C-alpha cells in the first residue's frame, strides 16, 4: 500500500522515537489530495504537538483501515500545516507500507467479564475478555460454537469507567477443554474511542514496566515529551 491510498477518517497510530525512547499517539486522516495526505494534529495537555521530521526524531505511522490488516509506514516526513483553519500535519511516506501481521500487534491482557452478541441471531452470552490489541481481541467462553470462524460478533465490557463496544469477526477457535473455548477475533469497526482506549492501556502497561525498573520516567522521555509540546 502507498500512503496516498489511505482513505479519509482512517485511524492512525503515530510512533515518535528518539534514541531508545518512544511515544505513541492516535490520529486520523482528514484529507487526501493528489500526493498530499493531511492528518489531525495531536494534542498533549490541551496544546498541539509540534510534530515535524528532524535528524534526531524518527516518526513511524501505522494505518489501521477498517476490516483490513494494518500497514506500517516507517520514517515518514511530517510538517505542520493548516486544514480548514485547524492545525494539521502533512505526511509524506517515501516507502510503501508493509502489512503488519495481526498477531504481531501488541496484546494487552485484561481478564475482565464481558458479553458477546452473535451476528444476526442476536443471541448473547457471558464471556471473559482475554486480551485486546489495536487490530483485534480474544475472549474465553464455556460455549463451543459450531462454524464459529467468520462469524460476526459484538463484544461489550466495562473496564474501570470505560464501557467498550467493539465489533469483529471470529478468525480462530481453540478448544481447551469441555468448559473453556478461546475465540480470537479480527476488529471490523475501528472506532476512535477504542483506539484511544487501547493506546492508553499500552502506555499504562509500558510505563508500569519501566517504572518497576527505574522507579520514575527516564529524563530522556521527559525531554522528548517536553520537546513535542507547543510553547
For domain 104-189, the CATH superfamily is predicted glycosyltransferase like domains (2.40.10.220)
Predicted confidence at residue 230, as pLDDT, reads 45
> How high does pLDDT run on average in the chain?
82
Q: Which fold has domain 3-100?
A: Pnp Oxidase; Chain A (2.30.110)
pLDDT < 70 positions in the chain: 20, 67, 101-105, 120-121, 190, 205-231
Predicted confidence at residue 137, as pLDDT, reads 92
Give CA–CA dist 137/129, Å, rounded: 8
- Pull the grid cell for residue 69: 490488516
Would the pTM of this model clear 0.85, i.e. be above it? Answer: no
Instruction: Say yes or no: do domains 3-100 and 104-189 share a fold.
Output: no
Beta bridge partners of 44: 47
Predicted confidence at residue 21, as pLDDT, reads 73
Judged by DSSP in three states, 187 sits in: strand
* Domain range summary for the chain, segments of one domain joined by +: 3-100, 104-189
Amino acid at each position: 500500500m502507498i500512503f496516498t491510498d489511505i482513505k479519509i477518517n482512517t485511524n492512525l497510530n503515530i510512533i515518535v522515537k528518539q534514541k531508545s525512547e518512544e511515544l505513541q499517539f492516535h490520529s486520523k486522516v482528514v484529507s487526501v489530495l493528489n500526493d498530499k495526505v493531511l492528518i489531525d494534529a495531536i494534542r498533549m495537555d490541551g496544546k498541539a504537538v509540534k510534530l515535524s521530521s528532524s535528524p534526531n526524531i524518527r516518526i513511524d505511522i501505522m494505518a489501521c483501515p477498517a476490516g483490513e490488516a494494518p500497514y506500517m509506514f516507517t520514517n515518514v516526513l511530517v510538517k505542520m500545516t493548516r486544514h480548514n483553519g485547524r492545525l494539521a500535519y502533512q505526511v509524506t511516506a517515501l516507502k510503501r507500507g508493509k502489512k503488519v501481521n495481526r498477531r504481531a500487534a501488541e496484546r494487552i491482557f485484561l481478564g475482565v467479564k464481558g458479553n458477546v452478541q452473535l451476528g444476526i441471531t442476536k443471541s448473547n452470552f457471558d464471556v471473559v475478555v482475554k486480551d485486546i490489541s489495536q487490530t483485534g481481541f480474544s475472549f474465553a467462553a464455556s460455549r463451543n460454537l459450531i462454524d464459529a470462524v467468520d462469524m460476526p460478533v459484538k463484544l461489550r465490557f466495562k473496564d474501570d469507567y470505560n464501557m467498550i463496544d467493539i465489533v469483529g469477526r471470529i478468525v480462530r477457535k481453540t478448544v481447551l477443554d469441555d468448559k473453556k473455548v478461546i475465540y480470537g477475533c479480527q476488529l471490523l469497526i475501528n472506532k476512535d474511542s477504542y483506539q484511544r482506549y487501547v493506546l492508553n492501556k499500552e502506555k499504562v502497561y509500558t510505563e508500569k514496566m519501566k517504572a518497576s525498573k527505574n522507579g520514575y520516567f527516564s529524563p530522556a522521555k521527559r525531554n522528548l515529551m517536553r520537546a513535542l509540546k507547543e510553547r
